[in-house]
Amino acid sequence: MAANLRDEQLFPREFVRNDGLTLNIYQASIGDVGCVVWDAALVLAKYLESADFLNGRLLQDKTVLELGAGTGCLGIIAATFGAKVCITDLESCLPLMQINIRENEEQITGQIEAQILDWNSHEKLTFRPDYILISDCIYYSESVKPLVDTINRLSEPHTIVLCSYEERTSGNKPELQRHFYELIEKTFHVTEIPQNNQDDFYHSSDIHIMKFTKKT
């Protein structure tokens, strides 16, 4: 994705919160998989509005870190509920994240910033997250271990990691998912969020929301 995004390359996807507040998340017609809003991100975003989060009120003043943010959809939605958010991805995604922050700034009641974060680096962000949000990032074989290492490095003992992904059966995707969980389960307790706890409409049998908490 080119750093100088042009208007004709962008198109919005509307996200309507359950209380009617409307966001426009811009996607890019040209670029990598991080340029669009995937269904797994919407399912997780709607879970943030569920009873488990007191319809979003639980996010007030919480610190939220989004990894592999792409469009920044998840983090921006968390920020509309009053969270203090840092959305992160590779440098190529930074312009799109910044556009989406600007386009939705009137709806943001918390704080949000976009930062570059390469999972292959050993950077320690000056950010102590209450929540880490990840969606559909188990995609490339070379990024699985760096992603797990990054989750480990940036998680505090109190951090809750929420990871949503669409179950894919083509190519090497099932093996990547298995490998990811083999690595994660070495240092995290892993549980799945039941569909009954998710949004009444935005859920699917092939989209999973997983919760990770660090082992002591």
Q: Would you list the domain boundaries of the chain?
A: 7-214
Are the beta carbons of 115 and 87 closer than 8 angstroms? yes
pLDDT score recorded for residue 139? 76
Are the beta carbons of 71 and 35 closer than 8 angstroms? yes
Query: What tens digit of pLDDT does each residue of 78-130 get?
Result: 999 999 999 999 999 999 999 999 999 999 999 999 999 999 988 778 889 99
Are the beta carbons of 179 and 144 closer than 8 angstroms? yes
Residue owning tokens 């879970």: 47
Q: Sorting pLDDT into bands at 50, 70 and 90, what band is 165?
A: very high
Helix H, strand E, coil C: the string for 55-90 is: HHHHHCCCEEEEECCCCCHHHHHHHHCCCEEEEEEC
The pLDDT of 14-25, averaged and rounded, is: 97
What stretches of the chain adopt beta strand conformation (E)?
Answer: 10-16, 22-28, 63-67, 84-89, 111-116, 131-135, 160-166, 188-192, 207-214
What CATH number does the domain located at 7-214 have? 3.40.50.150
- pTM of the predicted model as reported, rounded to 2 decimal places: 0.93
The pLDDT of 173-179, averaged and rounded, is: 92
Q: Is 162 helix (H, G, I), strand (E, B) or coil?
A: strand
